[in-house]
Structure 1
Amino acid sequence: MKNAPKMTPMLRQYLEIKERHQQEILFYRMGDFYEMFFEDAEIASKLLSITLTSRNNKGDTVKIPMCGIPYHAAQGYIAKLVQAGRRVAICEQVEDPAEAKGIVKREVVRVISPGVIVDQQLLPDNDHCFLAAVSHSGSTHGIWGLSVIDLSTSTFLVGQFLDHGDPPDDVLDQLARFSPAELLINSDQRSSLTRLLDNLHLQIPTLCVTERPAHPFHLDTAQQMLLEHFQVISLDGFGCAQMSHGLSAAAALLDYLQETQKTDLHHLRKLTPIELDAVLLIDDASRRNLELTQTIIGNRREGSLLSVLDRTGTPMGARLLKQCLLNPLRDKELIEQRLESVSFLYYHPGLRQKIRDSLALIYDIERLSSRMVLGHANARDALGLKASLAVLPDLQQTLQQCESPHLQSLQREFDACEDIHELLARSIAEDPPLTLRDGNLIKPGYHQELDELIALLRDGKQLILSLESKEREATGISKLKIGYNKVFGYFIEISKSHLEKVPPSYIRKQTLVNAERFITPELKEFENRVLSAHDRRLELEHQLFTGVRSAVAAHSSRLAEVARILALLDMYSCLAEVAVRYHYVRPTITEEAEITIVEGRHPVIERALPTGKFVPNDIALNHIDQQLLIITGPNMAGKSTVLRQTALIVLMAQMGCFVPAEQATIGVVDRIFTRVGAMDDLRRGQSTFMVEMSETANILNNATSRSLVILDEIGRGTSTYDGLAIAWSVAEALLEKDGRGVKTLFATHYHELTDLARTRTKVQNLSVAVKEWNDTIIFLHKLVSGGTSRSYGIQVAALAGVPAAVVSRAEEILRRIDHGTFDYQPKTQTPATIRTSEKKGKPQQLPLFREPTHPVLELLESIAVDDLTPRQALDMLYRLAEMVQR
């Protein structure tokens, strides 16, 4: 090939290995460095900000681009490449260079990709790192299989969905919920997955998509692969045997992990079905609108519900808390089980604090165990595991004092793993290095030969003197000396005057003028031991450590179970701590279709305000007379806050958490839908109104009588008439859906919508109270009965800092419109301009439903006279007087 470099043995070996790993950046081990060549070097040098150099063989004019990194610092560089969405193949020397005939043999020992990482510094501490795969039936029936796995925690999930959409909504929503770092797809199905992938990249911009051969996805081979891995004769025990397309996705994941990890995966012990019927479903739009795990603006964790609730002490507990937040329960008994555990710890602060103090000393057992199984754990990981296991006996004793039925059941299942701790305590040195080839891994006393080697290296000179003394005594030669040189090694030197005393066992090695030099089998053995002691010590320590690691890995199922219990204890104690700290109450969970919240508060917003400044509100929803609550009031008054806090309180209750309220009765909800806020989605090419209508369509198509719907300003993205017509129609559809209707909170600026309450008994009007004072308004943030006929838009504009001249002009225009005298002509009109003036009457906006009622009459009609207290009656009179004088 013209301009090709000369094919040295090293280069030939590199290219042969690279041919099998074309999608990865190849880290090729050469001595103490990982080297990269050709295009890999060019890519890596840019991403890692390292110098790109070149090399050429002797007599070769073709320069080969190359760059390298020290092997001991590889983790940091790998992290950068993985974060950039790249895959890295680690190619190691797999034979001793001293024993190699020709070029040293090298093999790829592991492939690291964004979805397949277990190294601690590459992983997010408090979150899962999921690898996902999708499989499609390829038919019009729209059967989709999905499987996700977190290799670092052994989480292995599988699901199957019937989805006809393009893109498939259920699959897209589940992928958005798990937010995988990497997605495997069948290369034969790439074209049919275009819409799915396009939408996924919008939701997860960093997603790495990896195409795989079709054969692991085949239905006929997938089940057999899984049966062999789990060593079972049926998958019925996992509850997913009928999910054929889900199992094909799971098998594709397993095949990929076996190929990339090149080690046993026996810590993956079970498949867990993704059962949508068991959880409160929250679609991706609603998760974003409610800011469950990150804020809408800035995508920050701080300011989300998770940031308020997460006071966990371990990474295991933090991951569980997030998953429970994203997957609240629908089963009343399971919800009550969690609430009962949280309640016990709430009312027993001493036990709660003991548990939290113990958990603070525990490392990530879940991931440490996985690293042991995969063969990636170092001695410091072992020390972390040992320190964690040391805490378990005390924690078990504390748990024995907890009288809660569920906590007692956890105590009975609790395994303190004392035998594993004992092994680690007597084997692993207290201050080991990061790498496994530098020695100082194993404690003295654990292994006799290692102790001898260490003693030999430490006390070699003293041992020589002892051996010399021993030989003098045995031979009677007082001037016998043991010496050393590089040519002959260790030797015994005896002057010629004492040669007659030399034992027959001595072997003559060298003759000098005045002396003879001898060796003995014992001295030769000592020499071999001393000269090889360092290398032997390092090799033996590595062998002993890997033996300990394998012994611990054999107990991975026990460690996984104790990690599960610790995560639950962490979450329960965390939620109890949060409830005490923020004055939350235990909700009452029922099967009835009603929601009653007394003095409810927004869990995030109240934390951002001074203590006591948040204004709580009551909400009651049922299917009798309060199914649709229409909430009116000016912008900034707090309508959206009331909507969001209602959804969050329901969600918190169903995840087993106490709630921010004085009292709450929650009838179990199957889905929460929100249409809150509006912004253009330019990435999708969708306007505000299109996004609004898409989310509304999803609600109307999928909400049930057990759902909770939160709507904020439906129809505002189009003209007034169109928007009002749509809002009215949507409200009617939700009232009538499936013959029973849906519990709905509906905030709107269309005051005409309050007329629904005149003809629909299930509709109630609420408004957010404001107080007018000196041409401005004071937001009271309190929900009151009845609607409002004003938006206070000009006052809000003034509060927002709109220049006074603009506000004054707006007030003038509003007054003239109210009196029918507004001139729509610009101030610079010409005589030829067509005028609309007082002579023609004020511009008419035709009423869509009826002529507007006078505000005083409307207020009088809304008053329940018999329910007014004397003070409320007096306030109402003042309010009526102000309205008449206006």
Structure 2
Amino acid sequence: MAKQAQTPMMVQYQKIKDQYPDAFLFYRLGDFYEMFNDDAIKGSQLLELTLTNRSRNAKHPIPMCGVPHKAVKNYIDILVDQGYKVAICEQMEDPRLTKGMVKREVIQLVTPGTQVDVGSENAKTNNYLTAVVSNENGQEFAFAYVDLSTGELKVADLANQAELVNELVSLQTKETVVDSKLPTGIQETIKKLGILRSTQPELPVNASVSYLSQDVAQPLMRRVLKMLLDYIQTTQKRSLSHLKRAVVYEPSDFLEMDHNSQYNLELTRNIRTGKKSGTLLWLLDQTKTAMGGRKLKQWIERPLVNSNKINERHDAVGILLDHYYERNQLQDELIKVYDLERLAGRIAFGSVNGRDLIQLKTSLQQVPKIKYILEQIADKSFKDMLTKLVPLDDIVNKIETAIVAEPPISITDGGVIKDGFDDQLDKYRDATNNGQKWLAELEAKERKVTGINNLKVGFNHVFGYYIEVTKVNLSKVPVDRYQRKQTLANAERFSTPELKEKEALILEAQEQSKALEYKLFVKIREDIKKTIKRIQDLADAIASFDVLQSFAAVSEEYRFVRPTLTNQHEVAVKDGRHPVVEKVLGHQQYVPNNVEMGSDTSVLLITGPNMSGKSTYMRQMALAVIMNQMGCFVPAKKAKLPVFDKIFTRIGAADDLISGQSTFMVEMKEANDAIENATPNSLILFDEIGRGTATYDGMALAQAIIEYVHNNIGAKTLFSTHYHELTTLDESLNQLQNVHVGATESNGELVFLHKIQPGPADKSYGIHVAKLAGLPNNLLSRANDILTKLEKQAEDDQIDRNRHDNHQVQSVTPKAEEEEQISLFPLETVDDNQAEVVSDIKKLDLMSKTPMQIMNQVYKWQQKINRE
């Protein structure tokens, strides 16, 4: 854009804009926030605003658009939700009292990670801002995250890039702060994840940062914390008093699940819709508070590994489950509790209003009732938790004394503070009220004196108080007393010396009243700010009880049972169910299944047709583990479970668009992740490993993986496969057990039994499943014809080979033939069928056959040998 002489206002605008080049600058002009130049062009498109021009008659007019200041939040939210930053530039002086340019400055930079004013649809969701730095060689990372709305602050040391990506994805962060030393490859990965990258220059150390990081000793973690906190101070430009001291955590402190496992198991997001509906979170969420909903999500994503803590939660759920009446009372009180965590955040930020304080008071008034209900049913372990449930009567009394029951939203226009709270405020209000009474009396008197029945006394902010007379009555106006102030289309407005004198007194009282009210409100807010830590502790306790009562409610509704924790390496789940599938299908239609894996069984090899329920069976096992270790009861008739340290899943087929890897490469990488990191105390779910490549490659890899997990890891492993040839592994792997999903044919139709049964499946039902999927009948008929031909061709090939073998047998000595057969089949005797199979195997030209032909031939051989 060509340069031209700029007005002082545009000079000021550009100077501020240069400080925030990566943000939309909302520049306050009167009742509007304006955008100029490129911001205006792009902003008008994103916000669907009318694009106009400033200095229209100039050679190069300046693009311009704006939004009303009263509706600015909606427009900011739209931009931030799309991944942009918005710098809010305010007028720092009263334009009526300022000569020349009004001073302006940015009071806040709103970014995707620092957005704190969330709507009701996101009330149960955290908005995490993250930060990452690396060591000198770029191989180790320090990672921190914060939720500005709740004050949660955590930091960790991560060993590799995989752990970093897992934390970023699991936390669903929209923005991460990075330093210049972070390897370019890592930054590109963050960009591909759709996360906004921000940078932060180093600032001098201050007391707030030092206090929040005082429990962190490791230098790299202290560095990432400082960078994160510096960024918050730079963007928010306000108090951080509600932030909690940083807590160091390790992924191994919880049941480890990578983001792929969380995604595949649909813990918090539905694979198909990306929404909450149809997930474990959706099923378990009967929380009554927003902070309880957030804590439930955190518990799902980070289950416990400490058996004592798991049992404490189970104890609490059991107590609440056994006391139906008290639990209903508790729910009734919890419903009245607002979001204490986010209220504390708004108090710290200085953005709280009178209605927020009434919500705080209402919430705190429920605490004694909640505590009393829980004390009636508490045992020893429950009472330990109750010590954190401390009523805050001093805050309740302060708000009750000062704030009116139904305050206005604005805290600067008056009407927030109660009468009788402050003597001076009462005097100002009395003067204002008397003035209003005097104006009413003036209006009545002037109507009588002038004979103008529709004469009225009014007020506006431009002309102050006035007497308005319609034009048809102007002849009755006493010109010796009335002084003209304003002419309208149908009326004239006047003043009188008497009205001017009273106007000055009334306006002074009103302005003084509003100013004093605001000052009193700020004092109350600052007093409450000193108690933020107590409010946050109370909020955490209430949120925990809310989640526990939710567990009790769903356990009762869906017939969950308390699992028994065992130190033995065994799993015993009787009539286990997938709780989400069961809720969708209905209890009557869902078929429960057992999972029996004693200390002498580490691998369940699962066979059966597609759509028969193998994946559901595997997932329900994982969900039982997760629900157990988050402290909930589990969907089963009876359950005994160990405490697992990690869960690995390889379920589903999808390309990795971020890294550009194929389905099979993703499959192999996830399998390798399990092989490298699983322990004997882990749970592994492998679904159809090897299907992404050629038949023999896939079968060979599947068998090798099973053998490796069995022989070298010993983790509890559920392995489903269509390679029926693998079912013979139970002969060589003593801790492998075959199970299959039952299916039967009735009148040519495939009927799934959905029941896990001992032993391998007898055959596959590919064409039957295709029929169930709705493929055209002529296509299915053609598939049957092809299958028949392939089977016939295999039989013909076998006859030809038999003839060839008979000819060859005549040239082989009996002793040599016997030795050859014995070397292939370790049997005491070898019959003719086995001899034929041995000969067929020797002569089979693998390269000339399709996988289907080979698999059918192998099936025929098995049948022949089994008929011996």
Amino acid at match of 1:229: V
Instruction: From 153, 156, 159, give the equivalent of 2:153.
Output: 156
1:365-418 alpha-carbon deviations (Å, 9 max, x no partner):
100111011111122222221221221221121122132333312322222111
* C-alpha contact (below 8 Å) 2:791/2:856 kept by paired residues: no
Task: Tell me the amino acid that sits aligned with residue 76 of structure 1.
Answer: N
Partner deviation per Cα, 1:584-641 (whole Å, 9 max, x = no partner): 00111123222211100001100111332100001122441x2111010011111111
Q: What residue number does 1:143 align with?
A: 140
> What is the root-mean-square deviation in Å for CA atoms of aligned residues?
3.2
Question: CA 1:794–1:524 in structure 2 vs 1: closer, same or farther (change >3 Å)?
Answer: closer
Residue pairs, 1:471-870, within 5 angstroms: 528-624=504-600, 626-738=601-713, 741-820=714-793, 854=862
Cα distance in 2 for residues equivalent to 1:436 and 1:420: 19
Match of 2:387, SS state, is helix
Match of 2:200 in 1: 212
* Map of 1:87 onto structure 2: 85
Supply the distance in 2 between the matched residues of 1:859 and 1:445 (Cα, whole angstroms): 101
1:189 aligns with 2:176: no
Could you tell me how far apart the structure 1 residues matched to 2:740 and 2:223 are?
53
- 2:363 matched to 1:370? no
Distance 1:847 1:96, change over 3 A: closer
Confirm or deny: 8 A CA contact 1:754 1:765 kept in the other structure: yes
Cα distance in 1 for residues equivalent to 2:658 and 2:209: 42
Matched-pair contact (CA < 8 Å) for 2:794–2:857:
no
What's the counterpart of residue 172 of structure 1?
A: 165
| Counterpart Cα distance in 2 of 1:682 and 1:484 | 67
Given residue 372 of structure 1, which amino acid in structure 2 is its aligned partner?
A: I
Q: Is 2:383 the partner of 1:408? A: yes
* Structure 1 residues 484 and 731, CA gap change in structure 2 (3 angstroms): closer
The whole-number CA distance in structure 2 between the counterparts of 1:30 and 1:345 is 57
Post-superposition shift, 1:461?
5.3
In the TM superposition, what is the alpha-carbon distance from 1:851 to its structure 2 partner?
A: 8.0
Number of the residue aligned with 2:800: none
Check if 1:229 corresponds to 2:228: no
Provide the C-alpha distance between the structure 2 equivalents of 1:856 and 1:346, rounded to a whole number of angstroms.
Answer: 59
Is structure 2 residue 128 aligned with structure 1 residue 130? yes
What SS is found at the alignment partner of 1:135?
Answer: strand
Question: What letter is aligned with 1:544?
Answer: L
| 1:296/1:406 CA distance change after superposition, 3 Å | same
TM-score normalised to the size of structure 1?
0.82
Q: Which amino acid aligns with 1:185?
A: V
* Counterpart position of 1:119: 117
Name the stretch that deviates more: 808-817 or 363-372. Answer: 808-817
One-letter amino acid matched to 2:143: L
Deviations 1:175-219 (A, max 9, x none): 111111211011x235x143x3444444x43x2211233x36xxx
1:16 is matched with 15
The 2-side partners of 1:592 and 1:72 are apart by 63
Match of 1:781, SS state, is: strand
The residue type equivalent to 1:208 in the other structure is L
Are 2:568 and 2:599, in contact at CA under 8 Å, matched by a contact in 1? no
TM-score by length of 2: 0.84
Deviation at 1:819, TM superposition (A): 3.4
Alignment partner, residue 449 of structure 2: none
Q: What is the deviation of 1:674?
A: 0.6
Q: Deviations over 1:703-723 (max 9, x none)?
A: 111100001101011111001
Question: CA 1:462 to 1:170, structure 2 compared with 1: closer, same or farther past 3 Å?
Answer: closer
Contact (CA 8 Å) 1:123, 1:129: kept in 2 or not? no
Partner of 1:332: 307
Query: Is this contact kept in 1: 2:157–2:250, CA < 8 A?
Result: no
Instruction: Evaluate the alpha carbon distance shift between residue 24 and residue 485 of structure 1 in structure 2; reply closer, same or farther with a 3 A threshold.
Output: closer
Alpha-carbon distance in 1 for matches of 2:229, 2:332: 38
Distance 1:110 1:787, change over 3 A: same
For residues 744-790 of structure 1, the C-alpha deviation after alignment (integer angstroms, 9 at most, x for no partner) is: 00100000111110111101000111121111121000011100131
Distance 1:429 1:808, change over 3 A: same
- Does residue 428 of the first structure (1) align with residue 403 of the second (2)? yes
SS at match of 1:260: helix
Distance 1:127 1:618 in 2: 35
Query: Do the aligned residues in 1 keep the contact of 2:561 with 2:633 (CA within 8 Å)?
Result: yes
CA separation of 1:31 and 1:846: change in aligned 2, threshold 3 A: closer
CA distance in 2, matches of 1:35, 1:812: 72
Amino acid at match of 1:20: Q
Shift of 1:287: 0.9
Q: Distance in 2 between matches of 1:485 and 1:14?
A: 35
Structure 1 distance, partners of 2:867, 2:590, is 28
Q: Is the 8 A contact 1:601 1:660 kept in 2?
A: yes
Q: Distance in 1 between matches of 2:109 and 2:557?
A: 46
Cα offsets for 1:516-554 (capped at 9, x unmatched)? xxx99xx99987542312222322222222222212111
Deviation at 1:821, TM superposition (A): 5.9
1:156/1:268 contact within 8 Å kept? yes
- d(CA) in 2 for partners of 1:553, 1:110: 20
Q: How does 1:303-318 map to 2 (within 5 A)?
A: 303-318=278-293
Partner of 2:820: none
Query: How far 1:35 moved relative to its partner?
Result: 1.3
Classify the secondary structure of the residue corresponding to 1:98: helix
**Unaligned stretches of 5+ in structure 1?**
468-482, 491-509, 511-518, 825-839, 861-886
Distance change (3 Å), C-alpha of 1:385 and 1:788: same
Q: CA deviation at 1:433?
A: 2.7
Q: Name which of 376, 388, 391 aligns with 2:366.
A: 391
Secondary structure of the structure 1 residue equivalent to 2:199: strand
What CA distance in whole angstroms lies between the structure 2 residues aligned with 1:264 and 1:336?
Answer: 39
Q: State the alpha-carbon separation in 2 of the partners of residues 426 and 565 from structure 1.
A: 27
2:75 alignment partner in structure 1: 77
Shift of 1:54: 1.0
Contact 2:191 2:197 in 1 (8 A): no
Task: Give, in whole Å, the separation in 2 of the partners of 1:155 and 1:484.
Answer: 52
1-side partners of 2:524 and 2:768: how far apart?
73
Instruction: Give 1:321's aligned residue.
Output: 296
The residue type equivalent to 2:723 in the other structure is: Y
Query: What is the CA-CA distance between 1:743 and the residue it aligns to?
Result: 1.1
SS of aligned partner of 2:366: helix
**How far apart, CA to CA, are the structure 1 residues paired with 2:18 and 2:609?**
66
Matched residue SS, 2:119 = helix
- Per mean C-alpha deviation after superposition, the further-off stretch among 843-852 and 103-112 is 843-852
Q: Which secondary structure does the structure 2 equivalent of 1:148 belong to?
A: strand
Distance verdict in 2 for CA 1:201–1:586, change over 3 Å:
farther
Partner amino acid, structure 2, of 1:293: T
Preserved CA contact (<8 Å) 1:148 1:158? yes
Assess if the C-alpha contact under 8 Å between 1:5 and 1:56 holds in 2.
no
Q: CA deviation at 1:76?
A: 0.5
Q: Aligned in 2, Cα 1:570/1:805: closer, same or farther, shift over 3 Å?
A: same
Aligned in 2, Cα 1:30/1:485: closer, same or farther, shift over 3 Å? closer
Aligned residues: 773
